[in-house]
Amino acid sequence: MNEGEGLQLDDEGRLRHFLTIEGLNRQTLLDILDTAESFISIGEREIKKVPLLRGKTVVNLFFEASTRTRTTFEIAAKRLSADVINFNVGISATNKGETLLDTINSLEAMHTDLFIVRHSDSGAAYLIARYLPPHVRIINAGDGRHAHPTQAMLDTFTIRRYKGDFTQLKVAIVGDILHSRVARSLIHALNILGVPEIRVIAPKTLLPTAVEKLGVHTFHDMSQGLEGVDVVVMLRLQRERMHGALIPSAQEYFNLFGLTRDKLAAAKDDVIVMHPGPMNRGLEIDSSIADGPRSVILPQVTNGIAVRMAVMALIMGGQTARNRRPV
């Protein structure tokens, strides 16, 4: 059992925290996807609430800015009827010398039941999970370059809704693999779910050493890498995590690795295009693709609410699509 698995699962193999995709089994991922499917219709109701987390307190604790992720977590928690607190780290005591664990302990003393944590340091969510009481839960909303597990689940949920069977797909992930926690988590999820061919397409300077050990095929040419693929996942260029000149210029990067109609023509006719956001239009992706008929970027955002509802329901009460009553 690896470190993540030991912290994430209880003695019966159920999710206790959601820190990483790595180490989880296929059935656990399918439980999340199936439970999310059962929550999709809630967003279409006049009253968009179910009582699963009524009386529970959820704290969004974001040490990194992220409007999309924080907002979808907030909406998800409120749709489950939880009380939600958005903790403004910018004006908190952490700027006055208080440590991460001091902050967590103070908030836990206010009877918090679930923390949604985003932090620039890899492993921050693990650190918190080790020191909290057993009844308090943690969801990792992104830690450094390490993991972004709910993004991986909303991406795989979107892929399944459009493509169905994972075992027949070719998926290409394009861009800054080196700095991307999204890419790492998605690669783990796709492998666990049985995708037979995962490709990464990037300049050599934006690929981790020995990336093939993750179970991917590497390409440095877009035309070759996109040949015959079913799904294209474009990544944001992680400029804030770069050190040194890893790309020659923004224009050259777009010319070689930006997604355009000409490059996308190499993929299958029914290819779908995804992006975790926020997009750098004209750098990673052309607007004609981002807003075009093959794009499912906005549905990804919508799906993220249902997926995050599913993860919260699972770790707070073991609710799955298999055992949850209609509400």
Q: Which of 16, 118, 160, 181 is catalytic?
A: 118
Please list the pLDDT of the chain residue by residue as tens digits (327 residues). 444 556 898 888 889 999 999 999 999 999 999 999 999 999 889 899 999 999 999 999 998 888 889 999 999 999 999 999 998 676 555 555 567 788 888 888 889 999 999 998 889 899 889 888 888 999 999 998 899 999 999 999 999 999 999 999 999 999 999 989 999 999 999 999 999 999 999 999 999 998 999 999 999 999 999 999 999 999 998 665 455 557 778 888 899 999 999 999 999 999 999 999 889 999 999 999 999 999 999 999 999 999 999 999 999 985 554 454 444
**Strand 114-119 vs strand 57-62: parallel, antiparallel, or unpaired?**
parallel
Q: Which of 14, 57, 68, 94 is catalytic?
A: 68
DSSP state of 249: -
- List pLDDT tens digits, range 93-125: 555 556 778 888 888 888 999 999 999 888 989
CATH of 149-300, one of 3.20.20.140, 3.40.50.1370, 3.40.50.300, 3.40.220.10: 3.40.50.1370
Contact between 24 and 5 under an 8 Å Cβ cutoff? The reply is yes
CA distance linking residue 311 with residue 327, whole number of Å: 17
Cα dihedral across residues 283, 69, 50, 35: positive or negative: positive
Whether cis (ω within 30° of 0) applies to the bond prior to 278 is: yes
pLDDT the model gives residue 91: 52
CA distance linking residue 274 with residue 297, whole number of Å: 5
Annotation says 148 is catalytic: yes
CATH topology of domain 3-147+302-317: Rossmann fold (3.40.50)
What residue ranges do the domains of the chain occupy? Answer: 3-147+302-317, 149-300
Q: Which of 16, 145, 146, 148 is catalytic?
A: 148
Contact between 106 and 129 under an 8 Å Cβ cutoff? The reply is no
Q: Do domains 3-147+302-317 and 149-300 have the same CATH topology?
A: yes
Annotation says 96 is catalytic: yes
CA distance linking residue 111 with residue 303, whole number of Å: 30
What's the distance, CA 193 to chain centroid?
15
CA distance linking residue 227 with residue 312, whole number of Å: 38
What 25-30 contacts at long range (C-beta under 8 Å, 24+ apart), as own/partner pairs, is 25/192, 26/192, 26/193, 26/194, 29/153, 29/156, 29/189, 29/192, 29/193, 30/193
Q: What is the CA radius of gyration of the chain?
A: 19
Cα dihedral across residues 10, 130, 306, 200: positive or negative: negative
Q: Tell which residue, 26, 27, 52, 54, has the closest CA to residue 39.
A: 52
Q: Which helix (H) or strand (E) holds 273?
A: strand 272-274
CA distance linking residue 134 with residue 131, whole number of Å: 9
Q: Which of 28, 69, 72, 320 is catalytic?
A: 69
Who's near 290: CB < 8 A, 6+ residues apart? Answer: 273, 275, 279, 281, 297
